[in-house]
Structure 1
């Protein structure tokens, strides 16, 4: 039991109250009776004050200190969480997905189960691990013989700027280093050359690719570990390995190439290995370098510069050139250059494409000229009139660097899913099919995502998109997002205090809200709600009427 004795905060007149734990309590009463004073300024304030005082002195300096409420005694109080009918988010990066911690699980899911595809040819980008290479080799004909090779160096360039002497010296040093490491044979076009017989090295054609013979492998069921060990040796030297079947030039058998580089096998396009940080627009590792993770950039907007396309240039179509201090640019710079290239007496909307391009180029040249004096306040104000936020051309509003947008899961990248509303995203995750290997890694993460989508849907926010900025939410929407977040966090033994959560809700959504409050209660929490709605009062376990 939560026992309050002698509460005198604001309108409270030395009242004593007992509120049962682990039940849904509704506090109601006429306006000015002290409902908020009891719930927020007494219960929440004292619980928060005691919690902060239990922390170390170092931690307390970063937290807001609350005054002790005017009350004789409060017994049985637990750590409180206040969910108010107010949106206090001002972070321009915060979205619905990040505020509910849904995006954290999405980042983990795409990093662990996503597949990276080449933007050039659509081929999958992956690096070859030891087990994958061993499985591929063991799938070859049993008893077949293979040479494991890695390249010494690329063929010498024939450019006029090349220095053959320096290249030969570098190659000689490389061969000497390989011999010191214990490699004894070189390989070229099916022929082997041994360091132990220097005269054979004279037969090498150094204008063609040259390889080191790392091992000879016979495919048998027990060859797995030997293949993995050989692969590690080759990766350590050059990061790649070639398996050439014995007699390949004569038989025409296929040479197998494996690489530890995270790159496309067809075109060589490299990508960043997926990690959770790569999918965070709040992290410099993953944020788009052009818009810094905001999804839009501020630039000059032609719709503001040319507000009325029906006007001709000489009649003032270009608004900044109509200002007295900048008419000189039109008269002295643009007009002389425009002869024969653009018609000045024709409406902008009727100009040809090349004429519009000519005009745009001079408009941007004009603003570059103006920017030279942007240290003056009035110049900065003038420039701001013609600027607007536009979608980032690099990430197209996805907020992430291109490597992150190449990673797909269920044929969607993480930015495309973030643009979905909660109902569509819930359907996407509910129907997402993973391979057995991916399921072992990502099943628990996927369950957390599905639960959070369900909670957001249950509080009636299925129409919000995941990338909706938190600062644009109404107070009621922000409150319900906090409710869904609390339910997803699964805290036990806390006191939740809510301020009229039913305001602005349809009766259908009120039923959903009641269901959420009961779910919080069933987890083992005490729910105290300031409310007047008859439906919520009817479902309460305990009612406290003030006034």
Structure 2
């Protein structure tokens, strides 16, 4: 099947498409060998979507792979509203009309002063005041007191730095718009883009020229917070990209994680006491000195050595981890190792107790604070990406935009919704947009690529897919079939290598290869609609579809023994602190709908936890409370969908070690 679909149809379609480019362009493209075929007619440009995940880059996420992130970055750059990190107020550049409208909205009869900050005074104070006088300004505002510049008693230089230059004094009336606009424009021009409106109290100015001002309204033509004076960069698409220095967190460089001490590895069993070796690295003979140091200072700092680590108080734990001026603690021990990691064995030892932890600066969002200050619908881009595809689709369905925002962003929102809808249709609604692609299974990655293909709206293209229903619950298979039919209805041809009954029933044309495998196959047993597939004639597929052959269920089941793995409090990803007992010596099936937590339980938690119990480090261990029963097994092996051969020299015989016996046999043969 794969030889026909991938090695022939896809290879020839891709080869002919590449041949249509110029010689200059072809040198940058991967060129495929011509397949062993006599004649191919009507072939289309081909796209292969295989069931494997070749991505190992930590920067690649579901959002970037489906290109949803590209549209999100444009959306936030175009209609996002920046909010101050300090006070939470919305940040915007002010205009003269905006200031005038804000002031005229005050109650009629309100008195106010239009002013601008004098700022840094350069040179003598007298020269600064003379320059202001020559420009036509005659008053300063010092606190709540209006001071005439022409007075003999002039304020000191230090007071001038905080002074406001009065441009105009007005009372709110309907007929002051033009005068107010001129005054505001003058203040913006002379105040380096800053204007301050001092609103007076109801009482009139006293006889000494003081104007008691109750509130201040600050405006700026710069993109800054008018309350905190913090200036922000205007949003642009690159600001929201963690793959660009403009938007990436400077601490983690846009990865979202940093390598730090992994407390779960340092203290793997919190039921142990400090005396029993709760701190794993201190159990090695050469490093027991730090444990002896802790024993020496424990009475002075009232640290219990005979209590389980989980029962220690917060104060005791902090002392053990952080140490004191007299006692290094665990962090001091790690710093000591860091200073000596130029030695190979120290680096190897240190790697056992370090791991990736969320960046403390960006909290795992990968972006700078400036990017996280921009919101659409009350959420920043990291909060949107943290949602699952289903939740994100609901968010954009309910998103309400102002008329001018809708005019700008309607096409962007429509494209985002379309791709999110495709993700839900192909059974990926449980994936969050910030999920790393390297953590996806081969089937999940295939459906992510299918989402990209559906979103690209290509036509007259041959799509070749490799078993897309693998790993899908029957509930989601029909959604996938609907998506493939939609791809077909766009004007494309879809060829699927598949064994699923529902997929075969939904096909327009069925090609059955056989009758056997390997050298016993390679022939077309049947081609045509499913309704005419023969039950005999050497077609095993037809026999099972027609019901003449079936898989018989066993009559007797093996009974479980007392030996079992007991995992408690599993909390990785979406697991809700589950307790599970896995009997040993049996065929145990873990099932559930897509995204229910099967991989999180078995691969991310159980496998790593058993490895750690067996003192094998370097494996990710999901969050859990405890694991027991590992004494009944010697080791655990993970068989996943990742490819086993990474070199052209590898073949099945060498991989299963059978070739070693062949070599020994030939070596023992007489010359």
Aligned to 1:41: 7
- For structure 1, the 5+ residue unaligned runs are 1-34, 155-166, 195-199
Trace 1:366-515 onto structure 2 (pairs within 5 A): 366-515=333-482
* Per-residue CA distance 1:341-376 (angstroms, 9 max, x = gap): 244643234444333222212221122112221011
Aligned to 2:274: 313
Note if contact 1:148-1:213 (Cα within 8 Å) is conserved in structure 2.
yes
Cα drift, residue 306 of structure 1 = 2.6
1:70 partnered with 2:22: no
**Correspondent of 2:49 among 77, 83, 108:** 83
- CA 1:176–1:92 in 2, change beyond 3 Å: closer, same or farther? farther
Trace 1:82-481 onto structure 2 (pairs within 5 A): 82-137=48-103, 139=105, 148-153=114-119, 169=123, 183-189=135-141, 200=150, 202-206=152-156, 207-208=159-160, 209-212=162-165, 227=181, 231=185, 234=188, 237-243=191-197, 250=211, 255-331=216-292, 333-343=293-303, 345-347=305-307, 348-360=309-321, 361=323, 362-481=329-448
Cα drift, residue 383 of structure 1 = 0.8
RMSD (CA atoms):
3.5
Greater CA drift, 472-481 or 212-221 = 212-221
Note if contact 1:95-1:466 (Cα within 8 Å) is conserved in structure 2.
yes
- CA 1:153–1:267 in 2, change beyond 3 Å: closer, same or farther? closer
Aligned to 1:21: none
> Which whole-Å CA distance do the structure 2 matches of 1:79 and 1:421 have between them?
33
> Which whole-Å CA distance do the structure 2 matches of 1:118 and 1:232 have between them?
27
- CA 1:201–1:36 in 2, change beyond 3 Å: closer, same or farther? farther
> Which whole-Å CA distance do the structure 1 matches of 2:253 and 2:30 have between them?
31
Q: TM-score, normalised by structure 1?
A: 0.78
Which one scores higher on RCO, CA 8 angstroms, separation ≥ 6? 1
> Which whole-Å CA distance do the structure 1 matches of 2:183 and 2:45 have between them?
56
> Which whole-Å CA distance do the structure 2 matches of 1:434 and 1:512 have between them?
31
> Which whole-Å CA distance do the structure 1 matches of 2:282 and 2:99 have between them?
66
> Which whole-Å CA distance do the structure 2 matches of 1:239 and 1:90 have between them?
49
- Partner SS, residue 516 of structure 1: helix
* Per-residue CA distance 1:128-149 (angstroms, 9 max, x = gap): 2444334324546799997643
- Pairs aligned (count): 493
Note if contact 1:297-1:392 (Cα within 8 Å) is conserved in structure 2.
yes
> Which whole-Å CA distance do the structure 2 matches of 1:439 and 1:503 have between them?
40
> Which whole-Å CA distance do the structure 1 matches of 2:43 and 2:108 have between them?
73
* Per-residue CA distance 1:430-486 (angstroms, 9 max, x = gap): 111122232222222111111111111111221222222212222222222211211
> Which whole-Å CA distance do the structure 1 matches of 2:169 and 2:42 have between them?
75
- Partner SS, residue 393 of structure 1: coil
> Which whole-Å CA distance do the structure 1 matches of 2:434 and 2:377 have between them?
19
* Per-residue CA distance 1:467-522 (angstroms, 9 max, x = gap): 22212222222222211211111122322222232334344433222221222222
* Per-residue CA distance 1:139-190 (angstroms, 9 max, x = gap): 4679999764322225xxxxxxxxxxxx6626566667778xx833253138
> Which whole-Å CA distance do the structure 2 matches of 1:505 and 1:308 have between them?
36
1:518 partnered with 2:485: yes
- Partner SS, residue 118 of structure 2: strand
- CA 1:71–1:138 in 2, change beyond 3 Å: closer, same or farther? farther
Q: TM-score, normalised by structure 2?
A: 0.65
- For structure 2, the 5+ residue unaligned runs are 324-328, 514-523, 525-671
Cα drift, residue 258 of structure 1 = 0.5
